[in-house]
A and B are shown apart, each in its own frame.
Chain A
Amino acid sequence: MTNLPRRDFIKQTGLLTGGLWLPGALADALGAPAPMRKIKLGVIGCGDRGTGLLKILQDLPDQFEVVAVCDELPFRLQNALKSAGHAKTYADYHALLDARAVEAVIIAVPLHLHFQVAKDALAAGKQVYLEKTMTYDIPQALELVRLAQQRPAQTLQVGHQYRYSPLYYRVKEMIKQGYLGKVTQIDCRWDRNGSWRRPVPEPGLERKINWRMYREYSGGLAAELLSHQMDFINWAFETHADEVFGTGGIDFYKDGRETYDNVQVMVRYAQEGMVGNFGATCGNARDGYLFKLKGTKGTISLLVDQGMYYPEQETRKQYGTVDGVTGATKITWNKDGGMAITTGAEPLKDGSWYSLRDFHQAIIERKVPDSNVLTGARAACTVHMANQAIYNHTIEKWRPEYNLA
């Protein structure tokens, strides 16, 4: 039967008259262009993430002009200028915030500084793109929400960039449309086989460069990696973690680090009736990035830029197969019964590109970005609960005061 793959079609629920988000080519071809105005941007923090974003910004020349870059390490500033042309350089972010030419800032500093820099940026009247995780802990998250709500004219977007990919929007829509049925389990991993350390030019800079290794500065693997998937689940299911169990250890890289190189978190989503399993290790790269959403009608398996949908056997039986398909062009199916989840004619760009484009739009159109201070706070609360559970061997429970609106 493998020579007749087109016969294995499934009739999906919820598709009959449902609205459909059309990114990419069709929307481009038919939609009106958004108003365009270049935003003058300052980048605070020019480590890996800051310079990564500077490179992406080069692909958004109509949206942003980088006029200022800031880092306390001179070699990083030099490096940043490779992608930032004639931007003015700052060693102290306060001075950058004082610059009137700077309208918006990207904050890509170590986690423990997120809150303070974001707070100062808001106070300076800047539009803010704050890297994830939004804050180091829950009290800071709640306080930043309060501050941002006092300044409704300013945008605060949180850099959970993966979910900005059209692929992840499509998956959110598919969940809503019932492709998965009732989701009970979600598996998430983000593994690597490597120390997760950056090279340090001189020993005195160890804690500045490898801040991710130290609990004073960092939420470890949970904050840096698993937060993306935690945030996506919150957003896609419009829910939050109710109970968090965690464990972990420094199990392979006994190199003086404090944050664990091997963590596992279980999350109970009581309202949704789901269990989320989140794991990350520095000691195996086989799975790499893994994200599987498992429902009674099907499974979605996601990579950062690719997705597959696998219907359950019962889904096929319930709706039956069809004998032929009419369409403007032919479809092919893969042999293990999966269908690629697709989003448009264009190859997918890096999630950060979509994320920064939305930041620009949010500022111009004065709209709340999809990854905003409230969703950012929910993810930050989940991450903090996970780390409490991991390090303190406790079961963490969602509290009513985390319910923000």
Chain B
Amino acid sequence: MLHCFLLAIGLGLAAGAPAPRRAYHLSGYAQGTTYAVTYYAADSAVAGADVARQLAEIDASLSLYAPGSLINRFNQAARGVVADRHLRLVVRKALAVYRDTGGRFDATVEPLVQAWGFGPRPVARPPSAAAIAALLPLVGSDKVHLRGDSLVKDVPGVHLDLNGIAQGYTVDVLAALLERHRIRNYLVEVGGEIRVRGRKWPGGAPMRVGVERPDTTDAPPAGLQQVVQLRAGGITTSGNYRKFKRWGPVKSAHLIDPKTGYAFRNELVSATVVARDALTADAYDNALMGMGLADALAFLRRHRHLQAYLLYQRPDGTVADTATRGFQRLIVHP
């Protein structure tokens, strides 16, 4: 089900000049959330139908919620599947970040995520310790390999969940769609993951991106924590603050530690990452969340191509923030 809106907001045409750029907005529903595309161009080069086609193609490859999708077929297969371009690109990134982060980002955590009730199927009770222990041997991205055009697994029960980075990837794919139509000024957003390039026209103002203020756990917050200006790149956020499940006294956040099988427990509340593209940012924001504050900051010192803004909880319950130098330079101060 896809609703598309096309809305043009134009100012008067300047006489004699080359056709001025105007803002075009596209928005609708995708991947269980909403998307919004704004681009500045002389005409409506990209329409809602183009976006819808692109989104459907990605869903058919990467969505756990689309029956018969390539990823679902991989998860059901004993050995593997022939991967399409989307699956190949996203898995390659997932495996690279898995290695780079010492397994903090692990796309094979799906059986544990499902056991805790954050997967496509509802669960009635939290998993027992024994159930978690039984699932752990199925987890580990070192059991997944790209070989030629195939995606294969070492153990039949291994499942992939690319939801953590599929939105970032989708944002990049939509940005590429705009780029193919020679559009160089745009902002693409899917489910809070963003890719931006250029400026707003007319006027030439830089694009401003708000970082959500995570003072709530499942309802709209009261404001923004920060506003940044970004010339080009991806900016994404991972947070542990909204999605919770509770069964009596047992409570679990949705980011599950692939090593232990239980929700990550550290002081981080959210991690916002700026990188060259949204796929990269989206993969690392998850990994940072799993590291805890000290390790995340040490990791960022070793990875200068990533800029990050971290919110964490102090022992007294208040929330504080910290950011890399590069991120601080992006912040707009009113």
Residues on A lying within 8 angstroms of B by beta carbon are: 1, 3-4, 6, 9-13, 15-17, 19-22, 24-31, 170, 174, 179, 309, 318-333, 339-345
Tell me the complex Cα distance, A1–B241, Å: 30
CB of A29 within 8 A of CB of B251, answer yes
Tell me the complex Cα distance, A345–B210, Å: 22
Tell me the complex Cα distance, A123–B287, Å: 59
CB of B244 within 8 A of CB of A330, answer no
Residues on B lying within 8 angstroms of A by beta carbon are: 5, 7, 25, 27, 33-34, 36, 38, 187, 189, 191-194, 196, 200, 207-227, 235-244, 251, 253, 265, 267, 269-270, 272, 313-314, 317-321, 332-334
CB of A11 within 8 A of CB of B227, answer yes
Tell me the complex Cα distance, A333–B223, Å: 11
- Name the distance in Å between B55's Cβ and chain A's nearest Cβ: 16
CB of A15 within 8 A of CB of B213, answer yes
CB of A4 within 8 A of CB of B192, answer no
CB of B220 within 8 A of CB of A333, answer yes
6 interchain residue pairs of minimum CB distance: A327-B212, A328-B239, A345-B217, A19-B318, A342-B219, A20-B319
Chain B residue at smallest Cβ distance from A31 = B317
Tell me the complex Cα distance, A19–B313, Å: 10
Given A20-B319, A29-B251, A330-B191: A322 touches B224 (CB 8 Å cut-off):
yes
Given A25-B244, A326-B210: A179 touches B222 (CB 8 Å cut-off):
yes
* Contact residue among A16, A179, A322 (Cβ-Cβ distance under 8 Å from B210): A322
* Contact residue among B191, B217, B313 (Cβ-Cβ distance under 8 Å from A24): B217
CB of B212 within 8 A of CB of A326, answer yes
CB of B208 within 8 A of CB of A323, answer yes
Given A342-B216, A344-B217: A322 touches B227 (CB 8 Å cut-off):
yes
Given contacts A309-B222, A340-B220, 9 further A-B contacts (CB under 8 A): A9-B210, A319-B334, A320-B208, A323-B209, A324-B187, A324-B194, A326-B194, A330-B34, A339-B220
Q: Which chain B residues border A22 with CB–CB below 8 Å?
A: 215, 313, 317-319
Given A17-B321, A324-B196: A342 touches B215 (CB 8 Å cut-off):
yes
CB of A327 within 8 A of CB of B223, answer no
Tell me the complex Cα distance, A318–B332, Å: 13
- Name the distance in Å between B139's Cβ and chain A's nearest Cβ: 23
Q: Which chain A residues border B243 with CB–CB below 8 Å?
A: 328-329
Q: Which chain B residues border A327 with CB–CB below 8 Å?
A: 192, 211-212, 214, 221, 237, 239, 270
- Tally inter-chain residue pairs, CB-CB below 8 A: 177
Q: List 15 A-B contacts (CB under 8 A).
A: A10-B224, A11-B210, A12-B222, A16-B225, A19-B319, A20-B215, A22-B317, A174-B222, A319-B227, A322-B209, A327-B212, A327-B237, A328-B240, A330-B33, A342-B222
Tell me the complex Cα distance, A20–B267, Å: 14
CB of A323 within 8 A of CB of B200, answer yes
B267, B319, B320 pick with most chain A CB within 10 angstroms: B319
CB of A27 within 8 A of CB of B321, answer no
Q: Which chain A residues border B237 with CB–CB below 8 Å?
A: 326-328
Q: Which chain B residues border A344 with CB–CB below 8 Å?
A: 216-217
CB of B217 within 8 A of CB of A25, answer yes
CB of B318 within 8 A of CB of A21, answer yes
Chain B residue at smallest Cβ distance from A309 = B222
- Name the distance in Å between B283's Cβ and chain A's nearest Cβ: 15
- Name the distance in Å between B177's Cβ and chain A's nearest Cβ: 17
Q: Which chain B residues border A321 with CB–CB below 8 Å?
A: 208
Given A322-B227, A323-B209, A328-B237: A342 touches B220 (CB 8 Å cut-off):
yes
Q: Which chain B residues border A21 with CB–CB below 8 Å?
A: 317-318
Tell me the complex Cα distance, A321–B200, Å: 13
Tell me the complex Cα distance, A6–B207, Å: 14
Tell me the complex Cα distance, A167–B215, Å: 12
CB of A15 within 8 A of CB of B225, answer yes
Tell me the complex Cα distance, A343–B189, Å: 26
CB of A328 within 8 A of CB of B241, answer yes
Q: Which chain B residues border A19 with CB–CB below 8 Å?
A: 314, 318-320
Tell me the complex Cα distance, A11–B331, Å: 12
- Name the distance in Å between A18's Cβ and chain B's nearest Cβ: 9
CB of A326 within 8 A of CB of B192, answer yes
Q: Which chain A residues border B27 with CB–CB below 8 Å?
A: 3-4
Given A3-B7, A326-B237: A9 touches B216 (CB 8 Å cut-off):
no
Q: Which chain A residues border B318 with CB–CB below 8 Å?
A: 19-22
CB of B209 within 8 A of CB of A3, answer no
Tell me the complex Cα distance, A31–B314, Å: 10
Tell me the complex Cα distance, A372–B298, Å: 46
Given A22-B318, A327-B214: A30 touches B38 (CB 8 Å cut-off):
no
B211, B242, B320 pick with most chain A CB within 10 angstroms: B242
Chain A residue at smallest Cβ distance from B236 = A326
Q: Which chain B residues border A3 with CB–CB below 8 Å?
A: 5, 7, 25, 27
Given A29-B253, A339-B220, A343-B216: A326 touches B267 (CB 8 Å cut-off):
no
- Name the distance in Å between B168's Cβ and chain A's nearest Cβ: 11
- Name the distance in Å between A87's Cβ and chain B's nearest Cβ: 28
Q: Which chain A residues border B200 with CB–CB below 8 Å?
A: 323
Q: Which chain B residues border A30 with CB–CB below 8 Å?
A: 265, 267, 313, 317
Given A12-B223, A29-B244, A345-B218: A324 touches B317 (CB 8 Å cut-off):
no
Given A3-B27, A342-B215: A323 touches B38 (CB 8 Å cut-off):
yes
Q: Which chain A residues border B224 with CB–CB below 8 Å?
A: 9-12, 15, 322, 325
Q: Which chain B residues border A26 with CB–CB below 8 Å?
A: 217, 241, 269, 313
CB of B7 within 8 A of CB of A331, answer no
- Name the distance in Å between A346's Cβ and chain B's nearest Cβ: 8
Q: Which chain A residues border B334 with CB–CB below 8 Å?
A: 11, 13, 318-319
